[in-house]
Copies of this chain bind each other. A is one copy, B any other.
């Protein structure tokens, strides 16, 4: 989708830049097109928009002054971490300020005894684990983008990863967030106690996609590095049986450290790049990991193997060395780059479904491929029922782009119909605004808007994201009833 034909007023831009330069160094305020172009989109490249101004503060005090200035002049503020988000939460606003938190990248403290780390929002996810490694601790949530993505962005999106079935999402691994409201007031969310008194604002701010506050400090929980880990690679002749095997493992009381699935289209897509040794004849391959002490792992691998075989696995292979374990994972972890090499572009969906309907939904997605004339391999967090269908398309061909969007929208609607949701861990952003109308009824959407207003009555923090307006849902309802073919409408003019 091209940038909407909208440019900010030069006067407004000039006066904002001048005011910002009153307290920020010159290179921390960007406004020329060649400077702001790198910020026009996040990981969801289907949507692009130049911001009026980009600000790159280095301290909480600078952020406070930026927010106070924007609040005073009614300038929308769009916070951004590393820009790896996949739902367009960091898409700029044409009349707004893009607030990059990238320079707030210091690890403030690590407390090995309390097993916590306090960091600034621009610290990369993996950098926390690297810094904690000397205490044999790490930060558990591991999104695929963990080399690049920042903890501030993880908080905004409530990010997960391949280990979140056992170790939880961001919400389960963050103890405390300090943030600034649009008025520049500091608010403490959560704390070091198991349950903070009063309303649980910590859970509210985690996953709020920059709508409520700008994160300035995060205290995360660290967990001990497991003594050892081993992985089972299991083949299935039918994708429904693979789905049932996942349910059987959970029903047996096993919580694998990782439980991921690749369908045949995905194994065939990634194998040439990753040489993971996947069974290319299998309809689905399941990766099932155990971690802990060597004794615990040996016992759990045995239990898992028994359950998988009873659930009609056609082949089972257990990693016998760390190198082999990493090789099993190489295919799963490189699925997105592999898709990028196999196709000019890919569009990663993020719906969730009840685990018991995995087979049914995967077959329905396969059946949609000819309708849209696009391939759609699947790699996903099977244990969570969190799908990541990768729609392969050609971004130079507008018709292919439109078909990819429509395909994606139909997949999301399918997830909702199956009793699932439109997003498991990538957030709503601008991408799933319409599907939020299907997901929630009006009183619930109004509750979201009510809470948003409590923090930001003027609607300046990341406007037009996450919660659709009444008008938008009415439009979407008409389109679904009368339009026949589902597709994304134009981005709202905010």
Contacts and interface: CB of A to CB of B under 8 A. Distances in A.
Interface string A173-187: 000000001000111
Contact of A299 (B207, B296, B451): B296
A114 interface: yes
A371 interface: no
Nearest to A159: B195
A386 interface: yes
A53 B385 CA distance: 47
A151 interface: no
B192 A207 contact: no
A424 interface: yes
A130 interface: no
Interface string A229-262: 0000000000000000001001111000000000
Interface residues of A, number: 80
A447 B455 contact: yes
Nearest to A200: B203
A295 interface: yes
Contacts of A419: 192
A79 to B, nearest CB: 16
A215 interface: no
A428 B196 CA distance: 10
Nearest to A170: B195
A453 B452 CA distance: 12
B443 A187 contact: yes
A77 B212 CA distance: 29
Given A185-B443, A450-B455, 11 more contacts: A114-B355, A169-B194, A181-B447, A192-B354, A193-B424, A196-B421, A198-B467, A199-B212, A199-B448, A199-B467, A200-B208
